[in-house]
Every structure is written in C-alpha cells, then in structure tokens.
Amino acid sequence: MDDFLAARLQMAVSFVFHIVFACIGMTMPWLMFVAELKWIKTGQKVYLNLAKAWARGVAIFFAVGAVSGTVLSFELGMLWPKFMEHAGAIIGMPFSWEGTAFFMEAIALGIFLYGRNRVNKRIHLASGLMVGIAGVLSGIFVIAANSWMNSPAGFDWVNGQAINIDPVKAMFNKAWFHQALHMTIAAFASTSFAVAGVHAYMLLHHKGNDFHRQALRIALGIGTVAAILQPLSGDFSAKRVAELQPVKLAAMESLFKTAQPASLVIGGIPNVKEEKVEYALHIPKLLSFLAHGDFNAEVEGLDKTSKENWPPVAIVHYAFQLMVFMGILMMGAGILFLIFKFWWKENLDKRWWLKTMVLLTPTGFIAVEAGWIVTEVGRQPWIIYGIMKTSDAVTPMPGIQFSFYTITFIYILLTFLVFWLMRRQILAIHMDHQIFNTLD
C-alpha cells in the first residue's frame, strides 16, 4: 500500500471512530439532563435511575472520545505536517476554544457523576446542563476548522505561503454555519435514535418495563425533533455547497455536464469513464430548485472542473444517497411517532413499533458516517479547497501502512469492547438494581 493512501485511510479510520463518540458526547448529556430534570420535577425514582444509567454511558463514551480526539490532534501533524505548518497559524484558534469547552465539559461531568451527594441540588443540575452545552460548543468549534478546509478564508496565498493571516475571518468562514448546524442536529438525531433502539430492544424482552419505556420516550422525543429539522438544514447546506463548492455538489449528484435546468438524480451507478449515471431515477428540474431555489437555474457540472481535480465521484455519490436515505427513514419514523403520540397512543407499545425502532438503531450513525464521507471525500483532491492538494500535505515518513494497520486494529478492538461493555451495562440493570447506588 502506498504511504499516501495509508495516511488517508488512517485519518479516515480515526475520524470514523471518533465521530461516533463525539456525537454521543454532544447528545447523551442532554438525555441525561432531561432525565435528571424530570426526576427533580416529578420525584419518580425511575427518572433518577435513568439519569444515573445514562450518566455512566456518557462517562464511558466521553473517555473514549477524549482519547481518540487526542489521537486526532496529533495525527493532524503526524500525517499532514505540510498542512498543519500552514493551517496551524490560521485555524488553530477554534481549537483553543474547543479545548476550553472540552475542559469545562470534563469538569462538569466530573461534578455531575461524582457530586450527587456532595454538592447542592441546583449546582448538580447546572453541572449536567453545563456538560451538554460545553459538549455542543466543542463540536461547533471543531467544525470551524473543517469548514475552513472547505471554504478557506482569512489569509492570502502568495507563492506557497499564507500571508495577511486573520484567524477571526478564518474561523467565521462561509461554510461554518451550515456545517455546524447540520452536524449538531446529526449528532442529536443519530445518538437519540441509537439510544431509543437499545431501549426498544430491551422493552421487547422486558415487556412494560417502566425504565425502558421512559428512556425510549425521552430519546425518541429528542430524536424526532432532530430528524424532522435535519432535512431543512440539509437543504440549506446543499444550497451553500452549490455556491461554495460546486464540484462537490456535482459529485454528490453525479452531474457530469452542466445543465439548465438540472434534474435530481436518485440512486444509480455513476460511470466516470463515460461520464454518465446508469440506472438512476431522474426528477426533472428538482436539482435546480434544491441547489438554487429556482426550477430553471443552471447547476454547474463536473465538466466545469478539469478531471484531475475531481473528487472520487462514485464514493461521494453513493455516500450522499445513503445519507439522504437514512435521513428520510428517521424523519418518517419521527413523523409516525408524533402521530402516535398525539392521536394514536396505543401504537407506541405495539411490538411492531418497537421492532421498527430496533431496526432504526444504526440509521443515524450510518447517516453521520456517510455525510462525513461526502464532505471529506467530496473535497478531494484538496486538503485546503483550491489552495493545497492533499498529496502535497502528506508526511515524508515511509511505512505509514503499519501505523494504519495498528490504528485500525485498535479501533476495531475498542469498538467491540465498548459495545460489549454497554451490553453488560444494560443487562446488569435487570440483574441487580444495586448498581444505581454505586456511583453515590
């Protein structure tokens, strides 16, 4: 395997792993906080148990996310030194804010987890809220660095050097808002649906168990809001990408030739050699509308860009289709949930509904990974869009394949361990209720 490919794959594996923990770290504290709030309001013990159980989940995922995040901050320099050499001064600032937010999150989590009997109730509740706020903020700050790679700003590139550096402009780049919005909602949708799926599964095996019923209700409530909002933010993102990175949008849609009006391509197999999509469903004029808000607008195709600067079209196209499909599934489930909740309550306890929830467990995370592939692979061959090629940024160190294999092996192992650990955690709830007291 050549070193460049190995470096890209290692980075990809590290992100694929980390992003799951980051999403959970952003969202799960909110679930925990809602449960805690309900406990304080209603005094029902089931909410207290729920808050405690979820807090343990937060701790495990937070810790793994913290170490995999540390790995990433080093990997930026270890795999892409030429990138960091130039980008560090421009885009380092959001990382220092992210560090602050992360610090606050760690401290607040420490107080929430271990302080239940040591600090007063109000501070304890506030610390739970703080975990959630800081988690979301740290995600938003990190996205600033990624969105800058998609939409570089805050410097002039002269003879291979960045001059007139303005980190504030760089941080408030044009892609930040839509990317941060889309990612934050994605974190809420994916985590909530995954949590809902787990509790739905437990409900299938422990019929009518109040703990899991309440858990499912809270998770699904948050997940529904996110799943219904997400297509709106997705539409907004698509319009921004059409403006900022037309070639990425063209790859997402496999639009080889500039068209006016352009039809929306659903599914299909892109044939890059012959520059066409086979077996796809075309909806006339819809892409023009989705990208520019006008059914007759021109949409720029891949032909406007020379072929050596195309991203891998097929990967981006498939990933995009997959993300949208998963998003639609979750939105559908969300709408059903609302209908059932307000007009057709008895369905919420039906087995088919619970089974549907179980099936939907991974959908959000599949969408997150696919979306991340769209944004990252869609930017190739650039590491800084239009400025620096990824191949020019890679480390001169040979043998990266070995670190790639090692990292891959470890992350697969950790994934299994975390799953196994969570499984034990959940099973233990039914074996012994004492565990809820061990954290006091």
Partner 1 sequence: MIEILIFVLGIAVLLYVLLGGADFGAGIIELFSGKKGIDIISKAIAPVWEANHIWLILAIVILFNGFPFVFTTITTYLHIPLFIVLLGIVFRGAAFTFRYYDTIKDNTQKYYTQSFRISSLITPFFLGVTLGAIILGKIPANFDGTFYDIFISPWFNFFTFTTGIFLTLLCGWLAAVYLIGEAHDEESYLTFAKISRTFYILLILSGLGVFVVAEMYELHLFSRFIHSWIGVVSIVVATLTIPFLWRNIKRGNSVQTRLLAGIQTACIIIGWFAVQFPVMIFIADGSHLTVWNSKAPDRTIDLLVYALIVGILLILPAFAYLFKVFKFEVNGNNKNSQSL
Stretch near partner 1 under the rule CB under 8 A, chosen from 159-167, 219-227, 249-257, 318-326: 159-167
Give the pair of three-digit tokens for residue 140: 């938003």
CB of residue 55 to partner 1, shortest distance in Å: 10
**264 vs 400, beta carbon nearer partner 1:** 400
Angle ∠(407,20,47) on CA atoms, nearest 5: 135
Q: Does 121 bind partner 1 (CB under 8 A)?
A: no
CB of residue 95 to partner 1, shortest distance in Å: 5
Quickly tell me which residue has 């992100």 as its tokens.
Answer: 15
Q: Answer yes or no: are the C-beta atoms of 204 and 358 closer than 8 Å.
A: yes
| Candidate residues 281, 283, 339, 417; the one interacting with partner 1 per rule CB under 8 A | 417
Q: Does 398 bind partner 1 (CB under 8 A)?
A: yes
**154 vs 311, beta carbon nearer partner 1:** 154
Stretch near partner 1 under the rule CB under 8 A, chosen from 202-210, 261-269, 295-303, 424-432: 424-432
CA distance 381 to 7: 14
Contacts of 54 (CB under 8 A, 6+ apart): 28, 31, 32, 35, 195, 215
**42 vs 406, beta carbon nearer partner 1:** 406
C-alpha R_g of the chain: 23
Q: Does 102 bind partner 1 (CB under 8 A)?
A: yes
CA distance 392 to 389: 5
Stretch near partner 1 under the rule CB under 8 A, chosen from 54-62, 289-297, 316-324, 326-334: 54-62
Give the pair of three-digit tokens for residue 210: 């109040």
Q: Answer yes or no: are the C-beta atoms of 259 and 301 closer than 8 Å.
A: yes
Stretch near partner 1 under the rule CB under 8 A, chosen from 90-98, 187-195, 287-295, 359-367: 90-98
CA nearest neighbour of 291 among 318, 319, 261, 327: 261
Q: Answer yes or no: are the C-beta atoms of 176 and 139 closer than 8 Å.
A: no
Q: Give the containing element (helix H, strand E) for 163.
A: strand 161-163
CB of residue 162 to partner 1, shortest distance in Å: 9
| Binding interface with partner 1 (CB under 8 A) | 56, 59-60, 62-64, 66-71, 73-78, 81-82, 84-90, 92-93, 95-97, 99-100, 102-104, 106-111, 113-115, 118-119, 165-168, 395-399, 403, 406, 410, 414, 417, 421, 424-425, 428, 435, 438
